[in-house]
Every structure is written in structure tokens, then in C-alpha cells.
Structure 1
């Protein structure tokens, strides 16, 4: 059931990202990195449909995180790019070709290799608050630094940098979602309300949404979605092993296969994300339309 919920979440997220980017690229640039961007986007039916799918994906992902280790669920959620590619390919009628098929098999094979070699198992959450806050602080602080630095970069690099920042926040959000689920299970609604994790989940979700939509607004989906899809599982796995008590096999062979699996996931994500079937940005479409035929 964990696999089913995680893959269903990936499907909703992949479709939702494509619909959101289709709408976000038409938002005014004056709203860049501003919460006003969300106010403009809610007027677009396509973006609302994408947001609805994204929320459904997060809810399904939360169910998967409640039943499985984050080190297991995060690689499965990374397959959202396969579903984004499927929808984009249907929209553009673009064949997969060698690059598309290569990226698909690398991503799927990397997820399989990491899960089989690592055999993620749950354990007791780390009770050391210093370790907990250190990992969360480094992730959130890194995301904020990347968001600040992105303003000085060229547009394509800016989109990728914002997407990495959002991926870090979403990885922490997934970890805190699991903690919130544990509090709900063991203490009920009262224990959940008085804890800080659910409020942090909401704040991280809204902030990550602004970063993602700003990335979608500035450049084609192929510039941002691969970075987002690669950063989120890596951040989630680090949180899972760092303070949630997830255990992975640590024999030399297992570690080698896990490293190879993560590398294959990242390379596959980059190949798929840069495939011609992925939606172009509005500026790119205008340049193409102005070129002589």
C-alpha cells in the first residue's frame, strides 16, 4: 500500500506541476518571489487544477509517509517526473527518442537499485534536539540562501536555483509531515495541535509554493522541474536518516549500490527534464515564433 500511495502521489504531482507551469509562465514578472504571485495565479483555472492535483499528491504522499520510511517513499515520489513527461509528451506529440527512454530507465532503475540495496527500515526518532534542529536549520537556511542568490543569476540558472531551494523545503516538509503523523497516531488531535510541526509543514508548503511558481514563471519547465525533483528526495532521505531514525544497509556493496542508484536518479531526472517534450516557457515560445521559417 505504501508503494501504491507513493506512486499515486507522484502521478498527481507530475500532472499538477505541468498544469501549474502552463499558467505560471503567463503571470506578471512584477510578482516574482512575492506572495502576490499566488493571488494572481488563483484567477487561472488551469493553475487551480494543477494546485488541486498537487494538494492531492501531497495528501497521498502523507499517507505513504505514515505507513513507510521516508527513505523509501522519497525515491518513489521522484518518479513524478515520469508522469510529467507523459502528460507533456501527450500535449506536444513529441517522441521519446534515445534521451527520453534513457532518462526513463535511469530514473526507474535508480529508484529500484536504491530501495533494493538500502532496504530502508524504520527506527526510533533521534531525541537529541540539537541534531534535529541542526539538520532542519541547515536545510531551511540553505534554501533561503539559494533564493537570495538566485536574483543575481541569469534567468535559466535562476529557475534551477529556486527549484533546488523549493526541493530542500519540500524534503523537510515531508519529514515533518511524518513526525506530525506519528504525533496524531500516538496522541490524537490534542497532541498534534500543541506541537509545532504541523504549522511548520504549512509554512514550508506555502513558501515552497512561491519559490516553485516563481521558477515556473521565469523559465521553461525543463529548467526547473529536474532540479526540484532531484533536490526533494535527497533532502528527505537526509532528514530520514539524520533525525527520524531511518536505517539503511551500510555494507560496502549496499552503500555502493545506493550511491549508484541515487546518481542514476539524478541523471535520469536531468535527461527527462531537458527532453524537448517538456513545456517551453513563454519567452522561448515567442523567440521561436519570431524566427524565420
Structure 2
């Protein structure tokens, strides 16, 4: 069973990576740096985007099956292979070699994320019962996150949005996992019909976080390389879920202390440093930055805020 789970986890990583790559290509081909609702309606009709959605769905199913056959300590670290696969696929597509800084950033993301998951499993004790007060706190926190994200979308400039999309989407998907946990516990609590046990506010929170997070992921595709999206979802998402579980849902093990806290904080810092490096030194980001600083005359450039190369007008000398 263990090796079947490992195989399913590998298939999940491949499916998620390929799905992310295809959806990113579809979004970039239909948008100009900042995705609008009209552009997204065109994206939804793209066969490439739909194929990516199918691969993401298949990858998710494989991951769920793998988790049902093996411990999270076996399955979860394998998922970070998706970041490597996405990087290679995108590099070959845009024909830009992967630089040393990018490999270092990926190594930090994978290493920090894997150690964070392993440490979290070691120091957490999944809650079998969640108090009403805890579910209320989750709702308040999610409402605050949605408010901050909404304000950020209104006030931030285009050049500031790439990392914002990444961290905001990862945070919201972390809350999706938390709400799924809460609703699952509610379904198994008490007697009577399921609708009598489940708090509809948590269901609504789950839907809002999933929809807004999904929109931010699509917007992130339009504003940066898909590796950044994959890094955000494999780093930020689990960290948010674990932190809320520890501090709100009461999942901290009895031996959780300052050593555990420092360990998780260090692993998180390593992963976030990797994401930051990836956002600054990815070859496509550097190419776009150089093109934005270059004179308007030349052979080929990239419009600031866009990931697509466009020909420059020749000078009339």
C-alpha cells in the first residue's frame, strides 16, 4: 500500500504541475498583466485552460487517494515535486535557461516546506472535537483576511500585485483547508441530520475562500511565472492551515513548546525566503525588468506589467 501511495503522490504532483502550466499559458494568452472579468470569460472558453483544470482535478483526486493509503509525512513532501516540474516545463516553453538563483530558491522552498510539514505532523494532535468558540474565531479571521485582500486589490499598484496574489491565494486556500476540517468534524458530531450539525456560516466561508482564492490564482498566472503560483500554494497554504490549527482549533500536541515553535518558524522563514528569491531572480522576471528599463528602440522587449514579448518599433534614423 505504501508504494501505491507514493506512486499516487507522484502522479498528483505531475498532474498539478502540468495543470498549472497549461492554465498559466491560457491566462497569459488572453490577458495583459492584470486579469479582468472580461478576459477571464475568454480564458474559460480556452481548451488549454479546461485541459489544465482536468489535470488539476486528477491531481487532487490522486492526492486524496494517496493520503487515504499512507501518512501525511510520506505523501505531503512528495507534492513539492510539482514545483520542480512546473519550473522545467515553463523554462522549456519560454526557452529561458534556469539560473542558479532560481534553483536555490526552489531548493529553499522545497527544503523549508518539507521540514515544516514533518515538524507540524510531529507536534500536532488533530482535534477530534472543535468548540463553537473556535469555529467563530475561524470565521472572524477569514472575514478579516477577505477584507484585507479586497483592500489590497483596490489600493496596490500593478507592480506590487505579483507577490500579493501569491500570498493572498495561499492564505485563502489555507483557510479552505481549515473550513473543510471544521465542516468535517461538524458532520460527525452529535446525532440527527447533517444539516442540523453543520454551521452554514462555515460552509459559506469555505465557498468564499475557494472562489476568491481561485480568482487570485488565475490573476497570479497573468502577473508572473507559474513557478511562483506553485511555490505559493505549496508553501503558504499548508503554513496557514497548520498555524490556524495550532492556535485556534487546539491541534497542538501536549509536548508542543518553544522548541517546536522555533522549529516551525525557522522552516517557514526558509520557505518564504525561497519564494521571495524566486519572485526577484527568476529569469523571466529579470528579463521583464531589463526590458522595462531598456530604451524603447531595439529588437525585442517585454511590455512592463506583461509577460509576453512584443516587437519594438525600429528607430527612423
Partner of 1:88: 90
Q: Which has the higher contact order (CA 8 A, sep 6+)?
A: 1
1:114-263 matches, cutoff 5 A: 114-118=116-120, 119-125=122-128, 127-182=130-185, 191=194, 195=198, 196=200, 197=202, 200-221=205-226, 226-247=231-252, 250-263=256-269
Distance in 2, matches of 1:23 and 1:33, equals 14
Equivalent of 1:269 in 275, 278, 289: 275
Structure 1 residue 98 corresponds to structure 2 residue 100? yes
Q: Of the two, which has the highest radius of gyration?
A: 2
Query: Does the CA contact (< 8 Å) of 2:137 and 2:248 recur in 1?
Result: no
What's the TM-score once normalised by structure 2's chain length? 0.71
Deviation at 1:75, TM superposition (A): 6.9
Query: Does the CA contact (< 8 Å) of 1:226 and 1:269 recur in 2?
Result: yes
Structure 1 residues 7, 222: closer, same or farther in 2, change over 3 A?
closer
Deviation at 1:169, TM superposition (A): 1.5
Structure 1 residue 18 corresponds to structure 2 residue 28? no
Structure 1 residues 97, 70: closer, same or farther in 2, change over 3 A?
same
Query: Does the CA contact (< 8 Å) of 2:149 and 2:168 recur in 1?
Result: yes
What's the TM-score once normalised by structure 1's chain length? 0.76
Equivalent of 2:308 in 266, 278, 285: 285
Distance in 1, matches of 2:30 and 2:197, equals 38
Q: How large is the Cα RMSD of the aligned pairs?
A: 4.1
Structure 1 residues 164, 193: closer, same or farther in 2, change over 3 A?
farther
Structure 1 residues 169, 160: closer, same or farther in 2, change over 3 A?
same
For the residue of structure 1 that corresponds to 2:29, the secondary structure is coil
Partner of 1:43: 45
Distance in 1, matches of 2:147 and 2:249, equals 23
Query: Does the CA contact (< 8 Å) of 2:26 and 2:46 recur in 1?
Result: yes
The number of residue pairs the alignment matches comes to 290
What are the ranges of 5 or more consecutive residues in structure 1 without an aligned counterpart? Answer: none
| 1:243-270 superposed Cα distances (whole Å, 9 cap, x missing partner) | 4443355344443332221111112233
Structure 1 residues 284, 39: closer, same or farther in 2, change over 3 A?
closer
For the residue of structure 2 that corresponds to 1:169, the secondary structure is helix
